[in-house]
A and B are shown apart, each in its own frame.
Chain A
Amino acid sequence: AQTVTQSQPEMSVQEAETVTLSCTYDTSESDYYLFWYKQPPSRQMILVIRQEAYKQQNATENRFSVNFQKAAKSFSLKISDSQLGDAAMYFCALNDMRFGAGTRLTVKP
């Protein structure tokens, strides 16, 4: 069975600071894909960043980057220079159909 665990129900960060959201997963497959999605309040879920398991290099998208540790089955999201618009629920997903419970990120001005 595939499982995704996000152990931080809520996180808070000061505007312009950096925050890291944690995600661990379990799968017996060797090839798979990992995703972080953002769901702002009352708005649709959108992709933040994705990582192919066969790639050793960590994915980066502007202020968003991941720390992918395949052996540890860990896939954390780092948000640099946090902005007010980053406030949202963040979901980690495995193969795009198994979601973690989410982390609610608050950005303080």
Chain B
Amino acid sequence: DAMVIQNPRYQVTQFGKPVTLSCSQTLNHNVMYWYQQKSSQAPKLLFHYYDKDFNNEADTPDNFQSRRPNTSFCFLDIRSPGLGDAAMYLCATSREPQGISNQPQHFGDGTRLSIL
């Protein structure tokens, strides 16, 4: 089945130690998104790629970076994780960007990041 896969499901890192979360998709969608979701809160969009075009949300900290080497893969890099970065990180894809069509996003299972 076509899907969005996030690895790992659980990630533990040390305060200040860089960490990379990965996302892959078999849907061949143009858009890939990264969200941060803290407990009992709404997913907060960090950034998204439309093909190779990177779109950063204005309030996304510089500590968060992303790479999309090809259509299938997208990475979230946290350069110096702080305790406040502990959260669930959701990857999603869609065929077209927001506001253009009614095509929904397809989400991965998420990676739960813990900071020691």
Contacts and interface: CB of A to CB of B under 8 A. Distances in A.
A47 B48 CA distance: 19
Nearest to B96: A96
A4 B9 CA distance: 28
A95 B107 contact: no
28 contacts: A4-B42, A29-B99, A31-B99, A32-B99, A33-B99, A35-B104, A44-B4, A44-B107, A44-B108, A45-B92, A47-B104, A47-B105, A50-B102, A91-B42, A91-B43, A95-B98, A95-B99, A96-B94, A96-B104, A97-B33, A97-B48, A98-B45, A99-B43, A99-B44, A100-B42, A102-B40, A102-B42, A104-B40
Which size class do A's interface residues fall under?
Answer: 20 to 34
A52 interface: yes
B86 interface: no
Interface of B: 4, 33, 40-45, 48, 90, 92, 94, 98-99, 101-102, 104-105, 107-110
Q: B-side binding surface: helix, strand, loop or mixed?
A: loop
Interface of A: 4, 29, 31-33, 35, 37, 43-47, 50, 52, 91, 95-102, 104
